[in-house]
Amino acid sequence: MDSTSSSRGSPRCFEGLTRAGQQIKAAARWVVLVAALVAASLNATFGDTPAARSFSQPGLQQIGDYLRHEVAIGKIPGAILLIQQHGKPAYYERFGLRDVATKVPMTDDTIFRFYSMSKPITSVAALMLVDEGKMSLDDPLSKYIPAFADVKVGVEKPDATGKPVFTLEPLKHPITIRDLMRQTSGITYGFYGDGPVQKLYRQADLYSGDFDNAEFAARLANLPLAEQPGTTWTYSHSVDVLGRVIEVVSGQSLFQFEKERLLDPLGMSHTAFFVADETKRPLVAQFLPDDLIDPPIAGIRDPMVHRRWESGGAGMVGTIGDYARFLQMLLNGGTLDGRRYLKPETMALMTSDQIGPGSGIAPSDIYFLAVHAGFGLGVAVLTSPQPKRPWPPGVYGWDGVAGTFFFVDPSDDLFALCMMQSPLQRGRIETELAPLIFDAMVR
């Protein structure tokens, strides 16, 4: 740990698309060119933001004071924050309690519900199969799940009297694997919005029984889409369906594939879809009594109960040390400890805006770190500067409804990762904490 590191300790785990022939080469050249153009565009957009050399001690103190205050006034039970630069923790501190009922403090091995921070992990797993030529981003979803070939789009149109009437329209374009990753499939969630398709989702009893990924995908295929594929960014169950695609392509369950090819090689030994070891269940961070997710978001319930459904979009749990290993691999451009997980051109595609001008996708209302953002393949991508916030170019990341969030800043060779379990406070804290982290950088 360097001289700016917190003295409160660091987890031990912090140590230490293609087709065939000429088409592969042409695609690779095209992706590299796109990545170069994206980088040039980002630099032109954000300006020449100098790289951070280090962090100021007063700035780090302000970050710690902020989270200590949130715990002291009872807004959150506790949190853990890691800022890692050049492969080493620049700041690591635990705050408050893992469980206010038992008064147990936060510890390095505390297990958190990742919720939507599961999506980047599932997206990387799918991109590994793309890199191996086992599927393509432009493959139709129906190639792997035939039921989606016949899905319709639900729309409301006025009849002769002007009264809105719900009708079903055929697809203009098939859902692709790319659509699943960039949230443009037309699939939606049922827990937000009041459109006719969202209402159908809520009425469908999607989460009843002990179902698996195949059955859940079939349930979704029986419902209409909210939009035509490839036209609108809509947050959704898309990555849950992507998890089923991984199963079909790999011949393994989602967890089996991720464990064998990604989690175990990365050393993410505590990451799973439920806490299988009963002795580790007291390690799960608990919500405040008045800050629960009820009804369960996206069908995700108690992480200590084994269910057959492995939700690639919201179902994973794990420790901060585990997720830090995943983020360091992303920051390194797809490698860690001498092992490559994603090709450089795939990383460039994943972390560049896929829904911006020229994409044919309607402008989105995505906000990440309090900044209007675009979206890559499984992560948000900052694309526009703010007058009072000189974000470095190329920052990307995502968050989870329980309060976890991360961002990766390649230009400064760092990532920040905050773990807490407070659904009511998550948006505010993410919005307030991220600027404190950037302000603490010495440029």
Is the peptide bond preceding residue 295 cis, with omega within 30 degrees of 0?
yes
Q: Which residues of the chain have pLDDT under 70?
A: 1-52, 294-297, 385-390
d(CA 141, CA 121): 19
Sign of the four-CA dihedral 382, 421, 347, 128? negative
Side-chain-side CA neighbours of residue 331 (13 Å): 25
Query: Quick one: pLDDT at residue 301?
Result: 72
Side-chain-side CA neighbours of residue 216 (13 Å): 28
Position 397, amino acid: G
Query: Quick one: pLDDT at residue 385?
Result: 65
For residue 17, CA distances in Å to 35, 120, 184, 358 come to 15, 18, 19, 21
To 5 degrees, how large is the angle CA 259–CA 260–CA 262? 65
CB 46 within 8 A of CB 392: yes
d(CA 17, CA 129): 9
The pTM (predicted TM-score) of the whole model is 0.87
CB 421 within 8 A of CB 440: no
Which helix (H) or strand (E) segment holds residue 324: the answer is helix 320-331
d(CA 119, CA 267): 19
Per DSSP, helices labelled H in 106-237 are 118-131, 177-182, 196-203, 213-221
CB 129 within 8 A of CB 250: yes
d(CA 285, CA 228): 39
235, two tokens: 């947050």
3-state secondary structure of 60: helix
3-state secondary structure of 11: coil
For residue 376, CA distances in Å to 68, 271, 347, 356 come to 34, 24, 10, 10
d(CA 215, CA 256): 18
Which residues have a Cβ under 8 Å from the Cβ of 31 and sit 6 or more positions away? 17, 345, 346, 348, 349
Query: Quick one: pLDDT at residue 390?
Result: 66
